[in-house]
Amino acid sequence: MTRKFSRNLIDFISKRILSGRQPQKQRSHFEALFKKNWGVTDLKEITDPTSVMGLNFALTTVERGERIKDILLQYTEIKGKRCLDVGCAYGGFLVAFKRAGAAEAIGIDVDPNLLEYCRALLKDHRLRKIYHQKDILKAEDICALGTFDIITCNDVIEHVRSPYTAMKHMSSLLRGNGLLFMEIPNRFCAAFIRADGHYNLFGITLLPNWMADTYLKRSFPRMSHSIHYRRLKFYTNTLKGLGLHRLNIDTVIGDREERLREIRNIFEECKRRAAVFEGDIPLPIKEKIRERVFRIADLFERNYGVYLKCRERDAEKAEALAEKLILTFGEGFWRIIARKRMVP
């Protein structure tokens, strides 16, 4: 890709994430590792939109951890609790939990390269090694971890081969009355259809895995598609079957009318793009993207029409339908919060 991305974003991220409470001496390791591995002397040299998106995700690791910590504090105390972050990656959640007074904050991840960044970040924050290279799908990997009061799994569950096994193992690690938090991408989100949150590619979330992999390799030859999307009901039903009571699907609905109009406009944009899609991919994949974009957009439009009619005669029903439409087509990520039932 040759399209340039605003360097102001990198400046903003670097100043916001790498300054403030951390003295100059502490913030060198994490940033230096990015420069070394990306082969740059200044992060502003990274201008490719997809690379900037990934860099943004990495550099905001502590900020994202703090945001989820604030959500969890609405449901439980963190101080003195034992916390586990599944798929800890860069380690920002571990930093946030330790700042909140967690007795222990442990992270696991299967990727040694990500754990190298985690090590650098923890060194910046003067925290000892509190992470392990372990696979949540392997019982032998997690059996020695003990049990936890809080488990988080943020932007991870879609990457594992068996989300059911992952949730089963997380449930087994959770103490009675313990809290599980998962953030999961929504493949039918209009904004993600326009450009997904992993690869910044149009329509890729709507494809079966083998087609998505072919599409991805045309843009990033060294990458393989490893995203396994499921419907929201799959996750909520699985958690219920494992003995976890759903407390909430955290979302910010905001102005319903404005959100619905925004979703509708994005779908119209997607339909226009799908009609003339010229990506360097096989024709059957283009046709599949086109067919599914129009089908999902039309599904939203039909339900939006029902909402407009309902709004005039049944405000309560219209409000519930609006929330469902926003949750299904407007939310990029579902945030599920569930509590494990106490065993009598």
Last residue of a domain, one of 37, 59, 81: 59
In a domain, 267, yes or no: yes
Question: How would you classify the pairing of strands 82-86 and 104-109?
Answer: parallel
Alpha-carbon gap, residue 295 to 227, rounded angstroms: 22
- Let me know if residue 46 belongs to a domain: yes
Provide the pLDDT for residue 244: 95
Instruction: Find out whether 67 and 78 touch, Cβ atoms under 8 Å.
Output: no
List the chain residues with pLDDT less than 50: 1-26
pLDDT at position 86: 98
Does the residue 176 lie in any domain? Answer: no
Neighbours of 181 (CB within 10 A): 23
Provide the domain count of the chain. Answer: 2
Concatenate the DSSP letters of all residues of 41-64 into one string: SSGGG---HHHHHHHHHHHTHHHH
Domain that holds residue 1: 1-59
User: Is 234 among the domain residues?
Assistant: no
* pLDDT given at position 224: 85
Residue 244 DSSP SS3: strand
> In angstroms, rounded to a whole number, what is the distance separating the alpha carbons of residues 150 and 98?
13
Q: What is d(CA 213, CA 222) in angstroms, rounded to the nearest whole number?
A: 11
* Whole-structure pTM value: 0.88
For position 10, what pLDDT does the model report? Answer: 41
Three-state DSSP state, 82: strand
Is 8 within 8 Å of 16 (Cβ atoms)? Answer: no
State pLDDT tens for residues 284-325. Answer: 999 999 999 999 999 999 999 999 999 988 989 999 999 999
- Burial code of 312-344, b = ≥16 C-beta within 10 A, e = fewer? eeeeeebeebbeebbbbbbbebbbbbbbbeeee
Distance CA 125, CA 28 (A): 11
Q: Where are the alpha helices (DSSP H) in 155-197?
A: 163-173, 190-194
User: Does residue 272 sit within a domain?
Assistant: yes
Judge whether 235 lies within some domain. no
Task: Evaluate whether residue 299 is within a structural domain.
Answer: yes
Query: For residue 15, is it within any domain?
Result: yes
- Residue 196 φ/ψ region, left for φ over 0, alpha for ψ in the -120 to 50 degree band, beta for the rest: beta
The last residue of a domain, from among 12, 43, 59? 59
Q: How far apart are CA 108 and CA 110, in angstroms?
A: 7
The pLDDT tens digits of the residues spanning 323-341 come to 999 999 999 999 999 999 8
Let me know if 21 is exposed, middle or buried by CB neighbors in 10 A (0-12, 13-18, 19+): exposed
- How far apart CA 277 and CA 3 sit, in angstroms, is 18
- Among 11, 35, 59, identify where a domain stops: 59
Check if the beta carbon of residue 245 is closer than 8 Å to that of residue 338: yes
Could you tell me where the beta strands, DSSP code E, fall in 242-314? 244-250
Distance CA 225, CA 205 (A): 11
